Chain A
Amino acid sequence: MSDLLVVEDLTVTFPTTRGPVDVVKDVCFTVGSDETVGIVGESGSGKSMTSLAIMGLLPRGAVTRGSIRLDGTELLGRGDKDMRRIRGNQVSMVFQDPLSSLNPYYTVGLQIEEVYRAHKGRSRKAARKVAIEALEQVGLPDPERRVDYYPHQFSGGQRQRVMIAMALVCSPALLIADEPTTALDVTVQAQILRLLADLRRESGTGMVFITHDLAVISSIATRVLVMCRGEQVEYGTAEQVFSDPRHDYTRMLLDSVPRIDDSPIDEVMS
């Protein structure tokens, strides 16, 4: 398994009125070409900023240092034009809220087609065929008809399937999933997780899976990076992190997961 993504000493700084603030500090991790790396942490821990830094989509004013290499090529410091060729093509992203992440004014077909056409330069007709195949691949029934539906005509889980189809349509080397199941209800969460894991395995795509949910991470990731306040507090194989956490914060996180054998009354009383 070769290293697809290598992140070294990644630091993201925002200028504020009280001076510069590091929202991500010295983060290092690697993602193999055929594995899932989970990034865990509570809100504000810098997980999403890390992923946006990889995409080159940080808000204006953010300063990035360190190194992000995709297949050996440095991404940091690249121009926007270069990064556009990479986004959606070599690295693509699935976001948290599928309803607001899809444009309500256009059919899902058009929104999938436009990625494909932007990067592969094919005709509308060819792109439509690919879009239908992509919808079929993510398990949407009746894709020939649904390709002309608008986002609001789908359920939450179906919308996330559409987002996944859109992210995978150019067969990217790396997929970043930023809390892809957080906005969904539990049964749908499980379906989407399985779909992501299956598709990733079939296509041999590397995946960065960002979540605050430890249960989700344990079922999908081979390696785990734990972040707290922008810093990396723990990094290792999933097994190692879950069974033998080195850092207090990780232990706290693990303890915060409610267990079925917990006695709620004792805890409240103690």
Chain B
Amino acid sequence: MARYVAGRFAGIVVILFLVCLFTFVIFFTLSPDPALMICGKTCTPERIDQIRGVLGLDQPYFTQFWTFLTAIFVGRDYGSGANLIHCAAPCLGYSFQTNQSVWEMVVDRLPVSATVAIGAAVLWLLIGILAGLLSAVKEGTWWDRTAMGLALGGSSIPNYVLALALQYVLVVWLQILPFPSAVSFSDGPVLWFQSYLMPWVVLATGYACLYARLTRANVIDTLAENFMRTARAKGLPPMLTMRRHALRPALTPIATIFGMDFAALLGGALITETVFGLNGVGKMAADSIAKNDQPVIMAVTLLAAFFVVVGNLVVDLVYTTLDPRVRITAK
């Protein structure tokens, strides 16, 4: 098992390195010259050269890439002499737009994205799995048809449409919720809850619909398994039969999908955060792409990749405890 995990970690390092390389190639070499962007309208060739020197853009691409990589672990210096700026590890550079340390920007915004992701996940797991379960048990009834119809409809509504509609109804018209903003929990739990409620609902809707349909399909498949017939032939109480024999096999695949979805969301819910103006990693990504702020783009890409590969590993490790058939071969 230890060897397996070590191997997986090595894999993660390779993947993250490749992600770094690809993002670097795409955003640093194929985009417009950052020195021009930083310099602004009143610019002289000397000034541009100076900026290029400070940022290390006059170096060969390979050296630039290497500096970028090592900076993450040991930090780096920009400029020299009196103008020297030290960027401490983990150094992801400075935003071309605001001159803020990218690492600090990420640390600032990650809690907002995490709050959005966790709240939405709780909602969609509860609603999706419960609705799916009920539909499976009551397969073919009006409840099943209504729930699955709603799920199909819900998964086809785009996030931003739902977000705008909810905002109009709840904030503008009925005025029962404040306009969403990244309120911190210490500002008061009620306000915090009210501010995040709409982003949670909007983000959770699509997932809840998907999970309801997945759960329904999995449970129906499991109920038709031979071992379910065995459980009934053993005269076990119906709740035990359902809980022990049907739910665990049916929900194990859902746990896998959930791990991946959730990890991806930690890298920022781009549309939801942007529509509600929440300053999370997702909005940061959208803003940085719009303004071609390369260090920030690099950082959000790396961050998202990091969460996805780590999430993947966690899912695989959890799976070995959920499914005994995987456990044995993983040893």
Contacts and interface: CB of A to CB of B under 8 A. Distances in A.
B235 A105 contact: no
Interface in B176-231: 225-227, 229-231
A55 B252 CA distance: 30
A153 interface: yes
Interface centre among A83, A114, A150, A163 (most CB of B within 10 A): A114
Interface in B276-331: 323-325, 328
Nearest to A106: B244
Please provide the 9 A-B residue pairs with the shortest distance between their CB atoms, ordered closest to farther.
Answer: A87-B235, A88-B235, A88-B234, A100-B226, A103-B227, A84-B235, A150-B324, A115-B234, A101-B226
Given A104-B249, A105-B323, A105-B324, A118 B229 contact: no
Interface string A86-110: 1111001101010011111111000
A118 B235 CA distance: 7
A115 B227 contact: no
A119 interface: yes
Interface string A138-177: 0000000000001011000000000100100000000000
Interface of B: 225-227, 229-238, 240, 244-245, 248-249, 252, 323-325, 328
Contacts of A63: none
Residue of B227, B252, B328 ringed by the most chain A CB atoms within 10 A: B227
14 contacts: A92-B234, A93-B233, A95-B229, A103-B249, A104-B227, A104-B249, A105-B248, A105-B252, A105-B323, A115-B236, A118-B234, A118-B235, A118-B236, A153-B328
Contact of B325 (A93, A119, A152): A152
Interface of A: 55, 57, 80, 83-89, 92-93, 95, 97, 100-107, 114-115, 118-119, 150, 152-153, 163, 166
Contact of B229 (A84, A101, A107): A101
A150 B325 contact: yes
Contacts of B238: 80
Given A101-B227, A106-B244, A92 B324 contact: no
Contact of A95 (B230, B244, B248): B230
Contacts of B244: 103, 106, 114
Given A103-B244, A104-B227, A105-B324, 4 more contacts: A115-B235, A115-B236, A118-B235, A152-B328
B93 to A, nearest CB: 48
A127 to B, nearest CB: 13
Contact of A105 (B233, B236, B249, B328): B249
A18 B160 CA distance: 49
A100 B244 CA distance: 16
Contact of A100 (B227, B240, B245): B227
A92 B233 contact: yes
